[in-house]
Each structure stands twice: as structure tokens, then as C-alpha cells.
A and B are shown apart, each in its own frame.
Chain A
Amino acid sequence: MTRPFAAGLMLVGSLGAQPTEVATLATPAKATSFVLAKTGRLAGAVCEDRKLLLWTLPDGRMLQTIDLSGRDIDAIAISEDGARIAAGDHGGGYTVWATSTGARQMHIQMPFYPFALVFSPDGKRLAIAPVGEPVQIYDPASGQKRLALQRTTGGTAAIAFSRDGGRIATAGTDTVVRIYDARGGELLARNADFLLVPLTASFTADGKQLLAAGADKIIAWLDAANGNVIRASAKAADPVMSLHVSPDGSLVAALLMHADNMLMAGPLVISETASGRKVQEWLPASLALGGGWTEDGRLLVATATAKAIHIWRVR
């Protein structure tokens, strides 16, 4: 999910090691969104000139330039192995390309643009949350719809698969977090304790818990079996825009948003998953566009300047 709902006002002291820039990717125009394959070997970005660019990492070699035909992109997603990249545009068009060739693999038209877009861990399913519509799961190779989840008021702000791909969690704009069987679509658990919209969710590595957070400014650890709150963090200064659990499950990175101006940079706060103890905090110079944990345990985050993407190694 790359759509920037907002960003964070918080006085941030430097806690822990400060990030180092590990790659700089030249762009013809300013990048507006960024995705990173979990392998850490492929990155994609959409730029203001309406081009989708792909690079190999760490060498920063340009792999593909895909013309988006003037479409405004609301969300992009990349499969964990980097084989596929997907984009949803403001006209409700959803497209998947093979990253190795730039060939289009799927294109469907829906009524609305996306709030969220995410591949299953094996890359064989693409979950789409069009604004105001139920989450729908497609086979990106064939473009066939596999499943539609419950219709909820307003739609879904964020989607997360469990590591084994067996469950899918949704953060609803009706403020409810739901956990479904990802194959059959049965609702397994729900949590309705949030007052405001949860904007992000992420399963722990063992799949036993789901972390959810959003405009309530707290991170809630939910029992993935029944949706009950196990514990909650202290209230942050600003809403939580995205959560990323490390591959070994020991750390969680939370990107906060600046509620009064979502275009301003918010801090990234890294905490121990088990204790909630904060171990690192970093305020990027500009809005974090995307990124995440790689499978070898690095946390990479991208920011953009007018003609480049800067990739920072935070952990």
C-alpha cells in the first residue's frame, strides 16, 4: 500500500543509529510512490511524468520504463520475489506487469480507484481494495477474480496477508479490523475497538497476532484467532500510517503521519514487537514514499527529491 494518507508532527530526538543512504536512483521527474521487493533486489516507482520505473538493486540499474499512458496512479504493489508489479489508477484501471520484460499480464477495470493493493506472499494472488468497494482477490496471471470479501461501509484502507498466505486482514474505513480465510473468504475474527479509521495492519511472523494502527494513534496487538486486543501501545503524537514487522518478528517499524498536513514527513519509529520498547526513531528529510523489511532483515526506506529517489538503510 503506497497511497500517502498523511504524514507526522512530533519532536523527534535521534534514538539509535542514524540511517545511511545506500542507493540513489535518478528519476526523470519527482517520484510519488515507491515499492521494494522483499528480496531487496528490485525497486519500482511511479513518477510525476506518469512513468513506472523499475531498477535492480543494489546496483541501481534501470530495468524497465513503463509508460502509464497519462494515468494517475493511486497505489502500486510489488510481489515479494519482484516478479510482478501492479498499479491501480484514478480511473479504476488495475494493471499487472512482469518486471523482467515490462509485459502487461493483467488489466481490469473497476468502478473506483484503489485505497490498497497487495500481493500474497507467493505472488499468486493480488488483493485489491477499490475505494468504497469490497476487497477483491485476483489471479494476476490470468486476471480471473478468485474471491470477494465482505462489503463494508466506505471500503478498506489497508490489507495484509499472513506470512503463510492463509489469512488476510483488512483495516476497514468503518473502523473495524477483520481477519478472513484468504482461500474461502470466511470471516474468522473481527475487532471493533478503534474509534477512528485503522490505516494499516501487519501480521506477526508466526501469524498468531495482528498489529493494527491508524488515526487513533495507538498500535493494537490483536489475537489473530479472535480479534481481541492483547495489548496496546501508548498514544503517539500522530496517526500511524504504516506498520512493518521484521522477518524474524522481533521488531516493528511504524511510520507516523502528520495529521495536519499529510504531505509533510512523519517519523519512523522502530520498537521491539514483544515489549513495545522503542529502539530507534528517525525523521526523514522528506515524506517517506515506501519501503520495508527485506528478507535478510534490512529495513530500507525511500524518500524523493526532484530528480532522484534516495534509499536509506534504517536497520
Chain B
Amino acid sequence: MLKARFTRRESLLQCAALGLLRFAPSVGLHQAVSALEAQERNIARKPTQWNEIGPFYKRLAPNNMQLRAPDDPGLPVTVRGKVFDIRGDTLAGAMIEVWHADHLGHYDLDGYRFRASLSSDPAGKYSFDSVMPGHYPARVCQHIHYLVTAPGHKPLVTQLYFATDPVFEGDPDRNYSRDPLVMSRELVRPVTLSGDPKSIQANVNFEVVLDRL
């Protein structure tokens, strides 16, 4: 049998480059290819969209779900989610590394502020408390970086974005691509506010789906 020169994804992208595969203007290239791949593989859940790792990943972050100190300025945010595989099964014991800028958009390179290495529980759940990241000057959107790994699965590097980000002007469907690094609308998550006006709190759900190796 002839050995394929390209992966299925590469061959679809090549078709797109040559005009043999076309998309409606409302559908992004990578979204369309991912959807087509998912359909062909008959999977229950589409793997979470990959997003670049950025220059400030730091290994050996502490296992600590409380990233926010009591006197930290900024809007408190709690992120919760589950880790799934593409069959829709939850993944226990997945390692979830998260890191982000402080409320002013500064990354801690010398220490581990706003960095953590978490593990999903037996039900695949994870959560952490932090502050809403500020806008890093060279990036358009507020974001939290993720690196998720689990045995037997491809490592996932991605970023979480917030629908309330002023950059989206209340319409992330239309405006998510204002940040050229946001390659998929699905990474922009709704924000729910809770608490009272004196101690308001943002809540975000971010489920991640890992592809098989």
C-alpha cells in the first residue's frame, strides 16, 4: 500500500490551499478542517482547539488551586471544568498546568505567582481560584494559558479567553478574531458573575477534550 505523504489534516489544508476545498466566509479554515476530521473519525467530542503556548511557560509550578492571595487586586475569578477524551469519557488524573498575567498584564517570571499545576479528580473535574488576567501589552485579549497532559493522549496546549473581554465589544461571535492568536470561537467562554456588589466574583467553565495518541 502506498504510504501517505501527508496526514489527513495536512492533506485537507493542502486542498484548501489549492482551492479544492472551500469554506463559507463564516467558517474559519482551522475550525472547518477540525470539524471535518471529527466527522470522519466519528468521535463523540471534538478535541479542544489548540492554541500557542507563548514565551512564558514555566515548568514545576506548584500544585495549588488557590492562585489568588487574599489581598491581590483584580476581579476574583474561579475557573472550573472537566477533562474528557474524545469518546466523551471523563479523564481522572490529567495534569492541568495553568499560567497567566496578573490583573495589570504582568507575568511573574522569577516566581510562580498565577501559575499552578493541578490534577483532575476521579470525576475528571478541576478548578482554581485566581484573578481576571489583565491585558498583556503585546496581546489583544485577556487569556489564561493551559497545558493539559494525560497518559495515552496528545498533550493539549491552549488558551482560555473571556466573552466579557472589552476587545470583543460584547459580541465574541463577530469579534473573536480581533486577536490573531484566537483561532477558534470555542475558546472564548461566557462569564457568570456571582456574589454581591461589594465582593463580586467571576465564574468561568472551561471543559477540555484531549485527543488520543
Q: Do A and B come together as binding partners?
A: yes
B157 touches A215 (CB 8 A): no
A196 at interface (Cβ–Cβ under 8 A)?
yes
Q: Which residues of B contact A262 (CB under 8 A)?
A: 137-138
B10 at interface (Cβ–Cβ under 8 A)?
yes
- Contact partner, A6, options B16, B52, B55, B57, Cβ 8 Å: B55
Interface residues on B, range: 20 to 34
A239, B13: Cα distance in complex, Å: 35
B139 nearest CB neighbor, chain A only: A262
A154 touches B157 (CB 8 A): yes
Q: Which residues of A contact B50 (CB under 8 A)?
A: 132
- Contact partner, A131, options B14, B52, B109, B149, Cβ 8 Å: B52
Give the contacts of B1-58 with A (CB-CB under 8 A): 9-10, 13-14, 16-17, 29-30, 50, 52-53, 55-58
A292 at interface (Cβ–Cβ under 8 A)?
no
Q: A153-B157, A197-B55 are in contact. Are A6 and B147 (CB under 8 A)?
A: no
Q: Which residues of B contact A93 (CB under 8 A)?
A: 17
A175, B107: Cα distance in complex, Å: 17
A92 at interface (Cβ–Cβ under 8 A)?
yes
A153, B48: Cα distance in complex, Å: 15
A68, B137: Cα distance in complex, Å: 27
B13 touches A109 (CB 8 A): yes
B59 at interface (Cβ–Cβ under 8 A)?
yes
B14 nearest CB neighbor, chain A only: A109
Q: Compute the total of residue contacts between A and B using a CB distance below 8 Å.
A: 85
Query: How close is B205's CB to chain A, nearest CB, in angstroms?
Result: 25
Chain B binding surface, main DSSP class: loop
Q: Which residues of B contact A277 (CB under 8 A)?
A: none
A157 nearest CB neighbor, chain B only: B55
Q: A6-B55, A157-B55 are in contact. Are A195 and B138 (CB under 8 A)?
A: no
A110 touches B109 (CB 8 A): no
B195 at interface (Cβ–Cβ under 8 A)?
no
B10 touches A196 (CB 8 A): no
A173 touches B53 (CB 8 A): yes
A196 touches B56 (CB 8 A): yes
Question: 11 additional contacts, CB 8 Å, given A5-B55, A175-B57?
Answer: A109-B17, A111-B10, A175-B59, A196-B58, A199-B55, A214-B55, A239-B55, A239-B109, A259-B56, A259-B107, A262-B137
Chain B residues at the A interface, C-beta cutoff of 8 Å: 9-10, 13-14, 16-17, 29-30, 50, 52-53, 55-60, 105-107, 109, 137-138, 147, 149, 155, 157, 180
User: Can you name 17 A-B pairs with beta carbons within 8 Å?
Assistant: A6-B138, A90-B180, A110-B10, A110-B13, A111-B10, A111-B30, A154-B53, A154-B147, A173-B53, A175-B57, A196-B109, A197-B56, A215-B109, A259-B107, A260-B107, A261-B137, A264-B137
